[in-house]
């Protein structure tokens, strides 16, 4: 693709996402710029519009949103640290139940082969799951459609639900996450975030880029060294780009399969939400953590999007991000073993052979072109 062609596709994608976000904002939908962009870009992509969000822009967006999410961390988080290990255990029991039940559902109800059903049933970590599934005889189209539909439904269902339960979207008005500070404070904040984000990417930690930026921002805000906010004129476009990234997962060639696989996708989504919700109820009863935080932390995927939603609804982004990192890391350890079990002849550049969790796959909301 020529540079001019790529620029035109990018401009078209951002225009569609911005229009969708503006329409959602005009009718007061919760987290309007994210939700509206996701819906309109998904519809456009399925209609055959050439959608493009370059990897560099996506990563820059994750960096900005990581800083913003970290600014929402409060000192109250420290008092809850002792509860987190038990919360992790409850969450992972729920993840195991979701994977097992979805696997049985897809195999017995629709007659899927065991490889395809297995990889389609794993909740979250889509890019890594696809990389592993490509090394087997699994039906990649079925996996892509079911997993991507699950993510779109998840964002579409959780966003208005939390908006209703948390009192709407008024918490997004004005400057959040601090003050508009001095240039030196922004240099300190951005510099420390760049350092930790670079360390996160280099260390291959799942979601390392956004997690590194979040940790640096949390430290700077918690110590009040640089308790400054991301201005709205930066934060809002970042939400639009994230929505475009999520919405662009499904392409025109997936449209026919999407309708054919809709019963399987809806069933897998219902199982995931129900069993994750059951695990959340257990955590709610045992740990006395708010429903909103548990809903976002236990939801089956996407680290970046749900961490952003946690910030938007003022629901402790650190708690939410930590749970999705734990889920991702557990899946990252299990998936290569499963891939080896069902593997076919591998090439020398096998993703699984090269790295346990390549940096490009350490996202739940990754570049949709990377799967082609």
Residues 6 or more apart in contact with residue 67 via CB below 8 angstroms: 189, 190, 193, 213, 214, 216, 217, 230
Q: Which residue has the higher pLDDT, 162 or 238?
A: 238
Q: Is the pLDDT of residue 302 over 90?
A: no
pLDDT, averaged across the chain: 78
User: What DSSP character marks residue 172?
Assistant: G
Q: What is the mean pLDDT of residues 55-80?
A: 76
User: What DSSP character marks residue 161?
Assistant: H
3-state secondary structure of 300: coil
Whose CA is closest to 121, among 135, 91, 100, 90?
A: 100
Q: Which residue has the higher pLDDT, 199 or 362?
A: 199
pLDDT at 222: 74
**DSSP output for 7-45:** HHHHHHHHHHHHHHHHHHHHTT-TTHHHHHHHHHHHHHH
Q: Is the pLDDT of residue 153 over 90?
A: no
Q: Report phi then psi at 212, rounded to 5.
A: -60, -45
Confidence band for 345, pLDDT divided at 50, 70 and 90: very low
Q: Is the pLDDT of residue 290 over 90?
A: no
Going from the C-alpha of 312 to that of each of 9, 187, 307, the distances in angstroms are 29, 24, 9
Lowest model confidence (mean pLDDT) among 217-231, 315-329, 336-350: 336-350
Q: Is the pLDDT of residue 285 over 70?
A: yes
Burial of residue 294 (CB within 10 Å: 0-12, 13-18, 19+) is: buried
Lowest model confidence (mean pLDDT) among 151-160, 304-313, 348-357: 348-357
User: What DSSP character marks residue 232?
Assistant: H
The CA distance from 300 to 122, in Å, is 9
Q: Is the pLDDT of residue 351 over 50?
A: no
pLDDT at 81: 64
pLDDT at 258: 79
Residue 41 and residue 248 in contact, taking contact as beta carbons nearer than 8 Å = yes
pLDDT, tens digit, 9 for 90 and up, residues 27-39 = 877 677 888 888 8
**215 half-sphere exposure, CB direction, 13 A CA radius:** 14
> For tokens 């500070």, what's the residue?
181
Whose CA is closest to 67, among 176, 221, 193, 201?
A: 193
pLDDT, tens digit, 9 for 90 and up, residues 86-126 = 999 999 999 999 999 999 999 999 999 988 998 899 887 66
Letter string b/e over residues 316-333, b meaning 16 or more CB atoms within 10 A of that residue's CB: bbbbbbbbbbbbbbbbbe
Q: Is the pLDDT of residue 368 over 60?
A: no
3-state secondary structure of 228: strand
pLDDT, tens digit, 9 for 90 and up, residues 8-31 = 999 999 999 999 999 988 987 767
The CA distance from 336 to 134, in Å, is 11
pLDDT, tens digit, 9 for 90 and up, residues 209-242 = 877 888 888 888 877 788 888 887 888 898 899 8
The CA distance from 149 to 232, in Å, is 30
Tokens coding 22: 């503006």
pLDDT at 369: 52
Whose CA is closest to 261, among 94, 127, 140?
A: 140
The structure's pTM equals 0.67
Q: Which residue has the higher pLDDT, 167 or 285?
A: 285
pLDDT at 14: 95
The CA distance from 8 to 5, in Å, is 5
pLDDT at 158: 74
Q: What is the mean pLDDT of residues 27-55?
A: 85
């Amino acid at each position: 693709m020529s540079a001019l062609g790529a620029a035109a596709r990018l401009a078209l994608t951002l225009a569609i996402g911005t229009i969708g976000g503006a329409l959602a904002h005009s009718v007061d939908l919760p987290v309007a710029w994210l939700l509206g962009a996701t819906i309109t870009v998904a519809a456009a992509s399925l209609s055959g519009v050439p959608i493009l969000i370059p990897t560099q822009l996506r990563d820059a967006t994750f960096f900005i949103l990581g800083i913003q999410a970290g600014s929402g961390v409060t000192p109250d988080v420290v008092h809850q640290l002792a509860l987190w290990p038990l919360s992790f255990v409850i969450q992972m029991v729920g993840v195991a139940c979701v994977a097992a039940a979805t696997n049985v559902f897809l195999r017995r109800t629709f007659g899927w082969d065991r490889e395809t059903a297995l990889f389609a049933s794993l909740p979250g970590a889509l890019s890594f799951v696809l990389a592993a599934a490509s090394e087997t005889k699994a039906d990649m189209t079925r996996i892509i459609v079911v997993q991507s539909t699950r993510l779109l439904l998840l964002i579409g269902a959780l966003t208005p639900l939390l908006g209703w339960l948390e009192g709407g979207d008024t918490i997004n008005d004005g400057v959040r996450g601090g003050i508009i500070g001095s240039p030196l404070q922004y240099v300190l904040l951005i510099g420390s975030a760049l350092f930790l984000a670079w360390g996160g990417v280099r260390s291959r930690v799942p979601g390392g880029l956004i997690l590194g930026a979040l940790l640096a921002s949390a430290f700077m805000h918690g110590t009040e060294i640089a308790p400054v906010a991301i201005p709205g004129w930066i934060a809002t476009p970042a939400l639009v780009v994230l929505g475009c990234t999520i919405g662009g997962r499904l392409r025109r060639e997936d449209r026919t399969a999407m309708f054919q696989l809709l019963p399987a996708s809806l069933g897998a989504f219902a199982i995931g939400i129900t069993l994750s919700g059951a695990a959340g109820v257990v955590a709610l009863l045992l740990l006395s953590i708010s429903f909103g935080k548990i809903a976002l932390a236990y939801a089956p995927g996407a680290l970046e999007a749900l961490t952003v939603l946690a910030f938007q609804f003022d629901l402790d982004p650190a708690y939410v991000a930590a749970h999705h990192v734990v889920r991702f890391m557990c899946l990252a350890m299990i998936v290569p073993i499963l891939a080896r079990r069902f593997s076919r002849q591998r090439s020398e550049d096998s993703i699984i052979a090269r790295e346990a969790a390549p940096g490009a796959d350490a996202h739940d909301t990754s570049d949709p072109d990377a799967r082609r």
